[in-house]
Amino acid sequence: MAEVKVKVSCHCQKNQSVIALDLSDLPLSANICHCDTSRHVSGVLGTISIKVPSGPASLDNLTAFETSEFMTRYSCSTCGAQVFAYDTRESTWRVPTGLLDRTEGIFEIQAHMWVGDTRDGGMSDWIPSISGRPLSRWLEAPEIEKSKELFESQTLGGKVPTMKFEDEDKIHAHCRCGGVQFYITLPDKASAEATSPWPDLIVPYHSGSPENPENETWWLAANKTKYLAGTCACDSCRLTSGYEITPWAFIPKTNLVQLNGQPLEFSMGTLKQYESSPGVYREFCSRCGATVFYHNDERPALVDVAVGLLHSTSGVRAENLLEWRTERVSFEEDAINRSLVDGLREGLGSWGVQRQGRTGPRAEPWKSRKL
């Protein structure tokens, strides 16, 4: 058979495999999964994986976690990336597509599935199409006989929510296994005391200086009643999660508390730290592999929280606590899966205009970048 070889590698490179795919099977079919399990085991708002004919080269640096009686997921014990999953029903391996060294022609995304679990449409509203090809949206999975398809005009989210009730003065966040749990409290006076340079989300790294001498509190939004959130397509997020798009909320450390009311500690529960570059730290759950935090020495009082872990009554976008930055996908220039990230930039921009009255995406900024 004619073969195409793809490499699978996590960020720390302790897990590397080469997979031979039959050319006549390509492109493989893939869906973006929005189910509760995938979200809480990854920290992202939509996971993509493909069925592959072989598994990991070695299990030595992988942590196995059963997410159901038929699915075991393997995450890197060092950097936390979801690396493989094994489905006992079909005796097949699956691999998260964010770890592949090439994607164009290898797989094609057809649909959003388990959108019903999101309660607000989640990321399915941000990627209505890829390369002009509409993606179908399913409350469950398209292969399930009674699953309902959502049509173009149908939306799950109502109007933009705010925190309404006394018992909603904080939001619970947790990984799939429950080893990492914490609360995010509402913005308060102390939230403005953090200091931080501008993020790439607002000032792209190739377009200007990130210095923020006036210390504008860009992480606070909606008259300081919400936090800013955004999506990132950088290599480090992709290779430490296993997925192409990582959603982050920017939260002052003082607004992150443990369940017992104590301040956040990066060693709490099953958290494990990985230094993805000098002075840059990422924590993940050492049991289920969920991506949890990003922070760095430049802005120690501000922590990025993986939005997929949040449990908001308003839905997975947690719009009662977060305002989404829709003009840019952070580090979109890094993307290997160009068509997916282009689809996100366009869809997220249009959603921002409709939902938040924002100005829409900038035109393909990397094209003006000096190389």
Binding residues for Zn ion, rule: CB under 5 A, are: 10, 12, 14, 76, 78-79, 175, 177, 179, 232, 234, 237, 285, 287-288
Alpha-carbon distance of 7 to 233, in angstroms, equals 19
* Nearest approach, Cβ of residue 248 and Zn ion (Å): 7
* Nearest approach, Cβ of residue 287 and Zn ion (Å): 5
Distance of CA 247 to the CA centre of its chain: 4
Which CB atom, from 115 or from 271, has the smaller least distance to Zn ion? 271
Question: In this structure, are residues 79 and 97 in contact, taking their beta carbons and an 8 Å threshold?
Answer: no
* Nearest approach, Cβ of residue 257 and Zn ion (Å): 18
Distance of CA 30 to the CA centre of its chain: 17
* Nearest approach, Cβ of residue 174 and Zn ion (Å): 8
Which CB atom, from 137 or from 295, has the smaller least distance to Zn ion? 295
* Nearest approach, Cβ of residue 221 and Zn ion (Å): 20
Neighbours of 336 (CB within 10 A): 18
Which CB atom, from 175 or from 341, has the smaller least distance to Zn ion? 175
Which CB atom, from 255 or from 286, has the smaller least distance to Zn ion? 286
Altogether, the residues listed in the chain come to a count of 371
19 class by beta-carbon count within 10 Å (0-12 exposed, 13-18 middle, 19+ buried): buried
Alpha-carbon distance of 272 to 276, in angstroms, equals 13
Question: In this structure, are residues 261 and 153 in contact, taking their beta carbons and an 8 Å threshold?
Answer: no
Which CB atom, from 75 or from 314, has the smaller least distance to Zn ion? 75
* Nearest approach, Cβ of residue 160 and Zn ion (Å): 26
Neighbours of 101 (CB within 10 A): 12
What tokens does 356 get? 């938040």
Which CB atom, from 122 or from 289, has the smaller least distance to Zn ion? 289
Which CB atom, from 137 or from 325, has the smaller least distance to Zn ion? 325
6 class by beta-carbon count within 10 Å (0-12 exposed, 13-18 middle, 19+ buried): buried
* Nearest approach, Cβ of residue 74 and Zn ion (Å): 11
Which CB atom, from 223 or from 267, has the smaller least distance to Zn ion? 267
Q: Which of 52, 57, 58, 92 is nearest to 72 (CA)?
A: 92
Q: Which of 325, 315, 370, 103 is nearest to 232 (CA)?
A: 325
Alpha-carbon distance of 260 to 69, in angstroms, equals 32
* Nearest approach, Cβ of residue 46 and Zn ion (Å): 16
- DSSP secondary structure letter of residue 361: P
